[in-house]
Structure 1
Amino acid sequence: MALVFFDLDNTLIQGDSDYLWGEFLVANKFVDAEDYQKNNEKFYQDYQQGVLDHDEYLRFSLAPLGKHQTEELLSLNHEFVETVILPIIYPESYELIAQHKKDEDRLILHSATNSFIVSPIANILGINEVISTQLEIIGEQYTGKYIGLPNYGENKVKNIYQWLEENNLSKKHLKDCFAYSDSFNDIPLLTMAENPVVVNADDKLRDYALSCGWRIIDFEQDEKE
């Protein structure tokens, strides 16, 4: 049995769930459309260029969660997953997940996106364990703040070590582990893994992977309007 860490955005799905959630909030008038959409686009471009201020982004993206009741948010999230996320899951993702399950590996969805968005997507993918940016909840209400380390860049590796400790595992259990990602932001994660696999790579990661001799795979892309 090997541990298998899957990135989510642009790896298992054709798109960025955090960015798409922001667009979904705009479309459903949960936020001020013009201002929110402008900032959502800016932060997404910063992420793609590797210059994202993650703390600033989280303050922006999580703020709406603190302004609405949890029941209302969960209903909206269900609609988001059904209408936006399901159609953009790569068919190859299901095949890849199924193969690792056949090999009796332990699968973890390991995403920079926050747990509110990631957890229901993990359920659809059939992945039972999640490492993601964790949100503060007081009572049953989201506060719009995060707790712990944002699950981004080098923090992804630190959060794996924390996850190992919480699951009574040690670093020796990382032997033969797999990591799948599309983004050069995940080079620390991929470098840690015994079996790094680059999926639908951005240009920077593809070049880096080629220089390291890492496995590279590409899923079929649907044309976007």
Structure 2
Amino acid sequence: MSLWRGGHDDPELERLAAVAGAASAEAAVAIEAADPVPPQAPVDLTAAAFFDVDNTIMMGASIFHFARGLAARKFFTNSDLLKFTLQQVLFRVGGKETADGIKSSREQALSFVAGHTVDELIDLGEEIFDELMADKIWPGTRALAQMHLDAGQRVWLVTATPVELATIIARRLGLTGALGTVAESAEGVFTGKLVGEMLHGPAKAHAVRSLAAREGLDLRRCTAYSDSSNDVPMLSVVGTAVAVNPDGTLREVARKRGWEIRDFRTGRKAAKIGVPSVLGAGALAGAVAAGLAYRKRLV
């Protein structure tokens, strides 16, 4: 296995990705220390499982479900929601990332939270999860996560969704926590700035590697799951990569590299799909989600 070492071609984008990944891992360690999740079995201290969220563990895009909830609460208009949706689609499928594209996507993400309090976002996230997300969880992927938990391994979500919302999703599913996009807050209010960039593409790989370095994880014993070719960097840093509900490009990559493929869109029950090698590769880790306990205060 060759571990992914690269990232963006643009040095500035690579720097931002590294900053975002380190911030997400730092937040994960902080929240684990502040509010640890009791393990269900003896803890394996050198392995971890990392799950992408959108279309991997949840049907559709979590940030879009959240945006729908905010629109229903008159945070912005349905027209604004449509524009946001189109820009997110272009961001996911538009191909090579550019500095302008990253900047535009960052500005869209910030438009949701700038000027609002952290507590407000958390309260709304709890409500919106119940209303629009709880019934969107893929049972098959949820079963894979539970297998890791039952084996005494910790499980993190890794997503571009704001870390506060990602942590809510993780905790509602009984997972350890989440690595997500970290936004600055001062005096409990979001400043309109991100720490680095959104946790997307190479930034996810940086977050996983940073967390592994902090917690003494053996990445060769870790497992990662995703539906998107954007997450090939993250999938490439671990010992076992699993393509879940993969897009066409990821399916091709998975076939070429010998990665496992699990597709729950066909209606097959998770119980009918054997995954001995997934658990054999290991998975746990050490720090929980990025953000609820992470309050960056500006001086």
Is 1:175 the counterpart of 2:220? The answer is yes
Equivalent position amino acid for 1:154 in 2:
P
Q: How does 1:196-215 map to 2 (within 5 A)?
A: 196-215=241-260
Superposed displacement of residue 51, structure 1: 4.5
Matched residue of 1:9: which SS? coil
1:131 corresponds to:
179
Superposed displacement of residue 175, structure 1: 2.0
Equivalent position amino acid for 1:46 in 2:
F
CA pair 139-10 structure 1, distance change in 2 beyond 3 A: same
CA pair 205-56 structure 1, distance change in 2 beyond 3 A: same
- Which segment is superposed worse, 209-218 or 18-27? 18-27
1:67 corresponds to:
115
Q: Distance in 2 between matches of 1:19 and 1:142?
A: 20
- Which segment is superposed worse, 4-13 or 91-100? 91-100
Moved over 6 A (4+): none
1:40 corresponds to:
85
Q: How does 1:145-156 map to 2 (within 5 A)?
A: 145-156=193-204
CA pair 112-68 structure 1, distance change in 2 beyond 3 A: closer
1:9 corresponds to:
54
Q: Distance in 1 between matches of 2:78 and 2:157?
A: 31
1:76 corresponds to:
124
Q: Distance in 2 between matches of 1:191 and 1:134?
A: 23
Q: Distance in 2 between matches of 1:22 and 1:209?
A: 32
Report if aligned partners of 2:171, 2:177 keep a CA contact under 8 Å in 1.
Answer: no
1:29 corresponds to:
74
Is 1:101 the counterpart of 2:149? The answer is yes
Superposed displacement of residue 64, structure 1: 2.7
Equivalent position amino acid for 1:187 in 2:
V
TM-score relative to the length of structure 1: 0.88
Equivalent position amino acid for 2:220 in 1:
K
CA RMSD for the aligned pairs? Answer: 2.0
Equivalent position amino acid for 1:8 in 2:
V
Q: Deviations over 1:123-156 (max 9, x none)?
A: 0111123211111111111223211353211121
1:143 corresponds to:
191
Report if aligned partners of 2:50, 2:158 keep a CA contact under 8 Å in 1.
Answer: yes
**Could you tell me which of 80, 91, 94 is aligned with 1:49?**
94
TM-score relative to the length of structure 2: 0.67
Q: Which consecutive residues of structure 1, in runs of 5 or more, have no partner in the other structure?
A: none
Q: Which has the higher contact order (CA 8 A, sep 6+)?
A: 2
Q: Comparing both structures, which one devotes a greater share of its residues to strand?
A: 1
Superposed displacement of residue 205, structure 1: 0.7
Q: Which consecutive residues of structure 2, in runs of 5 or more, have no partner in the other structure?
A: 1-43, 268-299
- Which segment is superposed worse, 145-154 or 8-17? 145-154
